[in-house]
A and B are shown apart, each in its own frame.
Chain A
Amino acid sequence: MAFEPKPMLPGDTFDAARRFAEASALKLARLHEPAARAAELATQWAAVLELGWAGTLVPEACGGADGTLLDLAALAEGAGSAGLALPLAATCAVAPTLLAGQDALLADLVAGRLQPCIVLDGLTAEAGRLSGRAVGVETPPAPSHALVATGEALYLLDLAGIGFARHERIDGRLTLDLEVQGAPATLLRPDAGEVIRRARDLGALLTCVEAVAAMGTLIQQTIGYLLARQQFGAALASFQALRHRVAEMYVAYRNLTGLVQAALAEPSWQNIAFAKLRLGEAGRFVAEQAIQVHGGMGMTEELPASHLARRVLMAEFEYGDRHTQAARLLAA
């Protein structure tokens, strides 16, 4: 029996999220036109909101499920295992953390009336007006607002009437580039420094959860490919150089899993930073090697494994790459 990844957080939540993500990935893989892909993502996002995922961490009083971080992590793990191309961490973890205590806005978030993108860097505020440029901001398909952190303060910017350029990331997720000059915004909290740092860390942690799940599937698919592909009259899986490469990928994946589990058990910023730092190393290694041992197939856009590899590569750059994490750890 060939390798099957074991989830960190097995159960119904994981299974349901995984099934949803697998079906979504299949539909998305058939589409190539950016507009068609964006439309498909919009349909999938509506389904996610319908399922109530955005309310996982939100108190019941605001229409949420009052769940724990582990509940959300189980969703992220299931979604990540098939590379769901939607802003789960941003909407389900970062946004509710930033909005803690703002009951009306939390209720809007759960109900889908508030669909924010999160801008943690790039903009500054002066007298309640925002200026600056933020590029590559992950976004839901139809963002209504931007939740903007400017140093220690937190603002809500209504995107109605504000123009922005839209792009697709290497992992197929939607982003926007925002450029504003003195745009009026609502100050939500002047003293949000702690909350902003916490929100960013939870984003990083859930990104690690998604990525480690994607790595498990990626290794599984790589093994399946090597077992099936014949060259020199034998399955590639019989060649030791490739077998060792896969063993190294597996050990890197297991080691990272240990760090992510430790960070889930005790989500201190240091535990999260170490996990994210290691994701930079281990994720890059697993992604690169998965592409390499697939040969030319690894270079093709269609291959599910190459999609997962791009997802894992992208994950490093969300909520602080390895050098950002290292700088924090070294400064502490």
Chain B
Amino acid sequence: MDDTAELAAFRAEVRDFALTHCPPEIRAVVAANGKLGRKHWAPWQRILHAHGWGAPSWPREYGGTGWDQRRRHIFDEVLAECDCPPQYHHGLRHIGPVLIEFGTAAQKARFLPGILNGEDWWCQGYSEPGAGSDLASLKTRAVRDGDDYVVNGQKLWTSHAQEADWMYTLVRTNTEVKRQEGITMLLIPLSTPGIRVREVRTIDSWHHVNEVFLEDVRVPAANRIGEENKGWTYGKFLLDRERLGGANVAPAFRFLERCRELVARQLAGPANALKREQLEYRLLLAEAELRGARELGKAAVDAVMAGRPLGLMPSELKLSTADTVQRIGAIALDAVGERVATRFRPVDGSGPNAEVEDIEWVQNFMYLRAKTIFGGSNEVQKNVVAKQLFGM
């Protein structure tokens, strides 16, 4: 088989697998732009892992697939086209790579299998009330006591904490040194006594994020990543991986197609011609941008796989995709807003969201505002880019 025939066969194989093995009720949620949580992601992760496809982004010896960039791209693309949940969760894409790079043999043996088969669910405890963009100012304190650390403090914006088993977190272990040099990375089971999780409702009326209060929480020192006070290095390595999430633009393309269908359906007929054409034009502009970002994403995946430094790529990708996806959300809002924004929530209190057709587009629009805020805001990314460009 020549190269292209082989890739076409691979594409068909992935599609066949996705359509026969990804549970239809999960795909229905993705197709309807529903909110995804552990109950959608974890079973799908287990199914992929059982088939040997649990971790395409990991090195082969840790359960990776050994695919080249083209196969990985096809894999992401086909999964998105088939409305499978994007293979993106904190275990697989964030803490997994950190464990592989910096974890002890015992930690790898303990944690990697649960990430691969979807049994352990993870969340990220970085941000705090006083430490957002300026993450290094974090205050949650960990004090060594025998074989444990005792942790006190508060995390904020912790996505998925309500459904996670574990939280990887950055804590302060030294207050005497430069801020970045007194930070340690700990892995904390959320079932530990002294942890309280409180929901923070977001403007889309869904439950994404939480406050996590830690009061005299005892964490075994064996749950520390790498060395004490070196957590900033591991934490930044992880954030670079997080921003590379933008390298998979396939779900964004799928989102664009769904929005295109919405515009065609919602704005059919001559009375809507001007609005429809304007929205179609804006969709094309967004598609062009996503196509550009797709190439940057391929280059970034190539660089990761070849072990080359990523340079500005994570920031470029974030800045090249985050507001594009927001713009697509805004196009959908323009298509349905007049009809459904007025019916966001029933006042009689029957459930968090109204059962109104297309209401999820309004929720999506609201949620997508976070794209330029989390994972290092766009302003912070621009600071990073400018520093490099100006050499100062």
Contact = CB atoms under 8 A, between A and B. Distances in A.
B320 A254 contact: yes
Interface in B360-392: 379, 381-383, 385-386, 388-392
Contacts of B320: 251, 254-255
B285 interface: yes
B296 interface: yes
B293 interface: yes
Contacts of B120: none
A227 interface: yes
A200 interface: no
A244 B390 CA distance: 11
A259 B284 contact: no
29 contacts: A2-B391, A3-B388, A3-B391, A223-B390, A227-B390, A240-B386, A244-B379, A244-B382, A246-B386, A247-B382, A247-B386, A248-B319, A251-B316, A251-B320, A251-B385, A254-B292, A255-B316, A257-B292, A258-B292, A258-B293, A258-B299, A259-B292, A262-B295, A274-B288, A277-B285, A281-B285, A281-B288, A326-B284, A326-B285
B291 A251 contact: no
The 9 closest A-B CB pairs, nearest first, are: A258-B295, A255-B292, A243-B386, A247-B382, A278-B288, A247-B385, A258-B292, A3-B389, A259-B292
Contact of A259 (B285, B288, B382, B388): B288
Interface of A: 1-3, 219, 223, 226-227, 237-238, 240, 243-244, 246-248, 250-251, 254-259, 261-262, 274-275, 277-278, 281, 326, 329-330
B215 interface: no
A254 B296 contact: yes
Interface in B294-332: 294-296, 299, 316, 319-320
Contacts of B287: 274
Nearest to B288: A278
Contacts of A274: 287-288, 291
B281 interface: yes
Interface in B261-300: 280-281, 284-285, 287-289, 291-296, 299
Consensus secondary structure, chain A interface:
helix
A256 B381 CA distance: 19
Interface string B20-42: 00000000000000000000000
Q: DSSP majority for the B interface?
A: helix
A266 to B, nearest CB: 11
Given A255-B289, A259-B295, 10 more contacts: A244-B382, A247-B381, A247-B389, A248-B382, A251-B319, A254-B292, A258-B293, A258-B294, A259-B292, A326-B284
Interface of B: 280-281, 284-285, 287-289, 291-296, 299, 316, 319-320, 379, 381-383, 385-386, 388-392
Contact of B386 (A244, A256, A277, A329): A244
A62 B391 CA distance: 50
A252 B235 CA distance: 28
Contacts of A326: 281, 284-285
Nearest to A323: B281
Contacts of A329: 284
A258 B296 contact: yes
Nearest to A226: B390
Contacts of A227: 390, 392
Given A250-B385, A258-B294, A277 B284 contact: yes
B276 to A, nearest CB: 10
